[in-house]
Structure 1
C-alpha cells in the first residue's frame, strides 16, 4: 500500500482535486494518505474482515464497485493475476476518460509481468519501484477496449459443468481436494438445520443438499463477498430453505443454532500457515451447534487441531485422511 501512494508523494502523479472522486479497488486497512490528498475515496473490499476494519475507520466502503465517472482510481494488486486484471478492467470502465489509474503490487506477486501486460493495452505514463513493489500509472484511454480484452482473458469458469466461479476465489479453477475428501466422508442422512462455515463458492453445501434429503434448512457463511454471490447460483434446486451470510466468523456472532456444521476452514491469510484461524473457526462452530450437534471438518494433516477439538467438544474422532488432509467428526 505504501508503494501505491508513492507516485503522489514524489509528485510523479498530481494529487486529485479536493472535489474529485477516487475509486480504490482492493483497499485494505492500515493505509495512510499522502499529505494534501483531500479527494473523496470510494473503497471497494469484498473480504469481510477488511471491509469491517475500513468501515470502522470511517471510510465509505462497498463489497463491490458501484457508480461510474470517477476522476481517478487506485488498484491494489495481489497474488491472483486474473483478479488483478479484472480490477484494472473495472477501473478503466468506471473512471472518466483521461482520469489517472495507479496500480501497485509486490514484486513477488508478479507486478512486473502485470506492468508489461497493461502497457500493451494502455500505454503507461510511468512506473516507480518502492518498498519491494512497483507502482505503475496510466491515463484512462478514450474507450474501454483494454477493459474488454482483460475481461475476455479472464472469464467466469464453470467447474465440473455446474459450478460457476471467477478468478480470485479460493480454488476457483477446480474442486479443492480437501473439500472433496470432506464431502466423500459425510453421512448421507444429515437432518434438520445444517450450516456450511467458510462455504466458498458453494461446492460442499451443494453436495450436502444433493445427498441428504432430510435437511430442513441450509445456511452458508462466507467472508468473501464474490464467492458467496457465486454460491447463491451454485447451490442448485433444493427442498431445504437456504440462507446466505456474508460474515467474519472470527469476530461476528452466529445467531442461529444448528444440528450439524460442515467446514473447510482457511489456514492462512499470507503465505505462512496460521493455525489460529482454524482454531477460531472450530470454537465458532462449537458455539453455533445445538447440544449433541455434530461438526464435520477437513484440515491439512500437519495442523494441530486435535487439542482445540478436545477442548471445544465432548468427543471427536478422525474419520478419514489422505496424503494431505484429515477429516474430523466432533460432537458438542
Structure 2
C-alpha cells in the first residue's frame, strides 16, 4: 500500500537541490525508516498518541507543540479543508528564511486542492506525483513574503473558539467539535449523581462528560481524563476550569487501547470510539472495555454509551460480575457494568485472551 509519506521521501531523494542538512520539522509526522537520515536534527510534531508512540519507539524526538524555526518543514496536511490550510500556515510559521516547505497528500484526500492552496499563498511551487499522492513544495524567499492576510485566515480557521452559545471551548478536528454528541448526551442523562471517589473519563474529548460529572456528582474526589488526541486537552482544561468545584481534572495523553497498568478507579465513564479513520472497528470499543476492567478497583463501576449494533455485552458479561442495559433508544444504548472479575491484558481481533 502506498502512503503520502512514501511520496514525500521519494521527492527528497530525487531532488538533490532541496537541502536536508539543517534543522528539520515534520508536522503530523509518521514513522518511516528514511527519517533516520535526519538523526539529531529532526523534531516530529504529532498529537495523535498511537503515531507518536511509533515515532518515539523509533528513537525520534516527538513534541505536541513546536517552537522555533527550521530549514526544512515537512507536513502531511489533514484532509479536512480548515485543518489542511491551517497546517500549511503552521508550516510556514516555522520555516526559516530560505527554507523549504514540502507537503504530501494522497490523491483521494484532496491532493490537487491542497497543491492549489500552497500555490495561492506562496506563488511559485514545484510538484510531482508518486505513490498515488502528490508532493508539492515552495521556498520562503527573502523579499518575497507569502500572502499574510490569507495565512492569518487559515490560522484562525482551526483556532480554539467558543461553541454552543459560548458555553464550551473547542476546536476543529476534535470529535464532534462544535456540538454535543447524541450518545454522550444520552449517557449524561442516565449517569447517577451518586458516582463518587476516584473517577476517570476515557476518551474525554473536549470535556462534555467530565463537565457533567463535576457539576452533578458532588462526591467525586479526583477526576482523571484520558485521550489519545493531544489537541483536546487545552479545550478540556478551559471547560472544566469553569466548573465551580475544588476537584481539578488531571489530563493524560494516552492510547487507552494499549491497556491500563494499574487499578485505581471507583468509576469509569466513556463513549468509546468505533472508527479507525473512515472504517468502523468495534475492536476499539472492546479494548476500551478491557482497559476499564483493568483500571477499576474491586466493586468499581463502568458507565458507557454505544451504538445499538456494537457487540459489547458479551465482553462486559465476561469481565464484570454484573452488567445491565440501562436504556436503548434512538440508535444508542447505555450500559452499566460493576465489579470487574477478570483483568483482560488485551483484546485481539477474532480472539480474546485473559
Instruction: Give TM-score scaled by structure 1 length.
Output: 0.91
1:300 aligns with 2:303: no
Deviations 1:103-124 (A, max 9, x none): 1112222222222222211124
Give the corresponding residue for 2:59.
58
d(CA) in 1 for partners of 2:297, 2:41 = 46
d(CA) in 1 for partners of 2:324, 2:110 = 42
Displacement of 1:54 in angstroms is 0.7
- Larger deviation, residues 144-153 vs 306-315: 144-153
Give the corresponding residue for 1:155.
159
Which of 249, 262, 265 aligns to 2:269? It is 262
d(CA) in 2 for partners of 1:38, 1:255 = 35
SS in 1 for 2:257: coil
Displacement of 1:9 in angstroms is 2.7
d(CA) in 1 for partners of 2:190, 2:266 = 17
Could you say if the C-alpha distance between residues 129 and 320 of structure 1 is closer, same or farther in structure 2, counting changes exceeding 3 Å?
farther
Give the corresponding residue for 1:311.
318
Give the corresponding residue for 2:352.
none
d(CA) in 2 for partners of 1:194, 1:34 = 40
d(CA) in 2 for partners of 1:331, 1:3 = 49
Contact 2:204 2:225 in 1 (8 A): yes
1:248 aligns with 2:270: no
Q: C-alpha root-mean-square deviation of aligned residues, in Å?
A: 2.1
Could you say if the C-alpha distance between residues 181 and 286 of structure 1 is closer, same or farther in structure 2, counting changes exceeding 3 Å?
same
Could you say if the C-alpha distance between residues 89 and 133 of structure 1 is closer, same or farther in structure 2, counting changes exceeding 3 Å?
same
Could you say if the C-alpha distance between residues 322 and 16 of structure 1 is closer, same or farther in structure 2, counting changes exceeding 3 Å?
farther
Could you say if the C-alpha distance between residues 320 and 115 of structure 1 is closer, same or farther in structure 2, counting changes exceeding 3 Å?
farther
1:2 aligns with 2:6: yes
d(CA) in 2 for partners of 1:209, 1:57 = 39
> Matches of residues 67-146 of structure 1 in structure 2 within 5 Å?
68-140=68-140, 142=142, 143=145, 145=148, 146=150
Displacement of 1:150 in angstroms is 1.2
- Which runs of structure 1 show a deviation greater than 6 angstroms over 4 or more consecutive aligned residues? 34-39
Contact 1:80 1:167 in 2 (8 A): no
1:25 aligns with 2:27: yes
d(CA) in 1 for partners of 2:80, 2:328 = 29
Give the corresponding residue for 1:234.
239
Contact 1:8 1:34 in 2 (8 A): no
Displacement of 1:278 in angstroms is 1.0
> Matches of residues 209-220 of structure 1 in structure 2 within 5 Å?
209-220=214-225
Deviations 1:44-72 (A, max 9, x none): 11111211211111111112212x22101
- Larger deviation, residues 281-290 vs 252-261: 252-261
d(CA) in 1 for partners of 2:157, 2:63 = 26
d(CA) in 1 for partners of 2:312, 2:62 = 35
SS in 1 for 2:114: helix
Q: How many residues align?
A: 328
